[in-house]
Amino acid sequence: MAGPLDLSGRVAIVTGGCRGIGRGITERLLGAGAEVVICCRNEPEALPAAAGRSAAFVAADVRELEAIERVVSFTVERHGRLDVLVNNAGGSPPAPAATASPRFSAAIVALNLLAPLNFAQRANAVMQDQAEGGVIVNIGSVSGLRPSPGTAAYGAAKAGLISLTATLAVEWAPKVRVNCVSAGLVRTGEAPLHYGDEDAVAAVGATVPLGRMAEPGDIADVCLFLASPLARYVSGENVVVHGGGERPAFLGAAAPVPPA
């Protein structure tokens, strides 16, 4: 008997599903029985796989409307439906706000906010015509909830994504549920770009209350829940997955009060 996390017969698209968090999400959905289509600008050397099946790949830059249409059309033509969209593609290299060019900032906002909106619009058009509707999961970041020095445009875009999630959940209900997963510090192949070498990554992880940075699978598990019937009454939410957050800075400077 199928369990509540069994997605057999369901079809998902994961943007940026070739590596990092997106690859972890893709593997988790495949393992749950879903058929998964991933899109990235370049095809990976090895496609994500689980449970004896691999994801299908479509080359696409999600900032381009024609590319979004190509991915959705491929998915519907191949599988006849679209049940889950995970808007994962995103990110930003470090750039000081004082010197970042307007062109750079526009590109970051386009990738992290406008692309998810445009992809969600196209997916919603398919899902609204299905008896079962569908689910959209936007991958956000704690950078949208607190200061994001070095990635100002990225943090602002992720803050916008949280607002967008809540609005779409209202507009597209009851057929389509829309939620956001705001990830904390995640250990991916790009971790050294932001945190430094292995010792630095370990030191950063030690600042998290749960004692480590997240792995892609930690984020993937939450996405699987949101895509499943277990989350049938969850919509418009921003689920923060950050291992307890960050230790308040003042605690490092405060003088402890001796016990009475």
Catalytic site positions: 154
* Span between the terminal Cα atoms of the chain, in Å: 60
In the three-class reduction of DSSP (H, G, I as helix; E, B as strand; rest coil), residue 50 is classed as strand
Given a contact cutoff of 8 angstroms between Cβ atoms, the answer to whether 154 and 95 are in contact is: no
- Alpha helix positions (H), the chain: 20-31, 65-79, 102-109, 115-127, 152-171, 191-195, 198-206, 216-227, 250-253
d(CA 229, CA 233): 9
CA distance 160 to 248: 25
Contact between residue 236 and residue 166 where contact means Cβ atoms under 8 Å apart: yes
Q: Would you tell me how many other CB atoms lie within 10 Å of the CB of residue 88?
A: 30
How does DSSP assign 83-135, residue by residue?
-EEEE-------B-TTT--HHHHHHHHIIIIIHHHHHHHHHHHHHTTSTT-EE
